[in-house]
Chains A and B, each alone.
Chain A
Amino acid sequence: MAVDKFPVEAGHVMMFARSIGDANQIYYDQDYAEKSEPGAIVAPPTFVQASAQFDPDYFLRPKIGQEWFGSAKGPTGITQREGSGGGGAAGGIGAGLHAEQRYEYHRQLMVGDVLKATNKPGETWEKEGRRGGKLTFSESITEYHDENGELVITATSVGVRTERPATSGD
């Protein structure tokens, strides 16, 4: 994902660490962190995923005044048009599923860093799946640079689109 300004904030790091069930003091306790080897509150290894919060167009976040494909009164908040066949809302999951994720750490990410994320496509390939029909994999590479232009983390995400829900029995 492309993000102009991703400030790595202490409260956000604390919330993120809680959400992955990680009680490590280095993610919230300034005094502890200062005496640790990194010397500051650091971000957990998968934290840059939360840069989505700072992407104004991130499509998996409801936007003010726009229809949301998750349920509301009915099973989807997308208004169905007459004769549209009813499958329209499933298009919301068109991003497919996350198949792989890799991170290269060029230096430790710390609270106080402000990152800029730039994105480029990687490879695309196809495979015949056992349950989901034809699988299409595509790679997306995100580079996170700090304010000095130094590369901090390279993230490679592989998404997969399936013809059918991958866990269905048929």
Chain B
Amino acid sequence: MALKASEIKVGDTYSEEVCNNLSRTQIVQYAGASGDYNPLHSDELFTTEIAGYPSVFAHGMLSMGMTGKMLTNFVGDGRLSQYGVRFTSQVFPGATLTAEATISALREEDGVQFADIDISTTDGEGTQVIKGTATARIDP
């Protein structure tokens, strides 16, 4: 499950398609679970007529959550010590997102091994929607 320092090297990558043709219903599902009911994410009338956006769009935190799924599948459960992202582009209904992790460094701190990871999530057109980093505790 968890990564092993002896089996990975800097530059190794792992990727997953984390959503396919993102539905408005999944965005609503995220609103309900997270508690963020900002109408910009589910209310087309408000979003186009009042807020002036072309359409509702996903919560940044939904993209981060979906990207986190790729990350925990890669490093194992309960292994993250840091996870941070910038939301570089909005994600609209219909998006298909692929999240990729690249090992950027392997290091030891107080006898514990860690992998530093670069993260990039892109949509079907190749536009990056998330850029980030993570650190995971790994096995020797």
Tally of B interface residues using CB under 8 Å: 49
Q: Mark A45-57, 1 if CB is under 8 A from B, else 0.
A: 1100110110100
Q: State whether the Cβ of B82 lies closer than 8 Å to any Cβ in chain A.
A: yes
Q: Which residues of chain A in 89-123 are interfacial with respect to chain B, using CB atoms and an 8 Å cutoff?
A: 89-90, 92-93, 95, 97-105, 108
Q: Which residues of chain B in 9-62 are interfacial with respect to chain A, using CB atoms and an 8 Å cutoff?
A: 18-19, 26, 29-30, 32-40, 43, 45-46, 49-54, 59-62
A42 and B78 CA atoms in complex are apart in Å by 8
* Neighbouring B residues of A53 by C-beta, 8 Å: 34-35
Contact of B32 with A99 in the complex, beta carbons under 8 Å:
no
Which of the candidate stretches B66-74, B108-116, B121-129 sits at the interface with the other chain? B66-74
CB closest chain-A residue, reference B73: A24
Contact of B73 with A16 in the complex, beta carbons under 8 Å:
no
Q: State whether the Cβ of B140 lies closer than 8 Å to any Cβ in chain A.
A: no
Contact of B77 with A21 in the complex, beta carbons under 8 Å:
no
Query: Nearest Cβ distance between residue A27 and chain B, in whole angstroms?
Result: 9
CB closest chain-B residue, reference A74: B45
CB closest chain-B residue, reference A156: B84
Tally of A interface residues using CB under 8 Å: 52
Q: State whether the Cβ of A149 lies closer than 8 Å to any Cβ in chain B.
A: no
* Neighbouring B residues of A62 by C-beta, 8 Å: 37
Contact of A24 with B77 in the complex, beta carbons under 8 Å:
yes
* Neighbouring B residues of A102 by C-beta, 8 Å: 82-85
Q: Which residues of B contact A (CB under 8 A)?
A: 1-2, 18-19, 26, 29-30, 32-40, 43, 45-46, 49-54, 59-62, 64-66, 68-69, 71-73, 76-78, 80-87, 90
With A22-B68, A99-B60 already in contact, 13 other A-B pairs whose C-beta atoms are closer than 8 Å: A16-B34, A21-B69, A22-B69, A26-B77, A46-B64, A50-B34, A62-B37, A70-B39, A75-B45, A89-B50, A92-B39, A98-B87, A103-B83
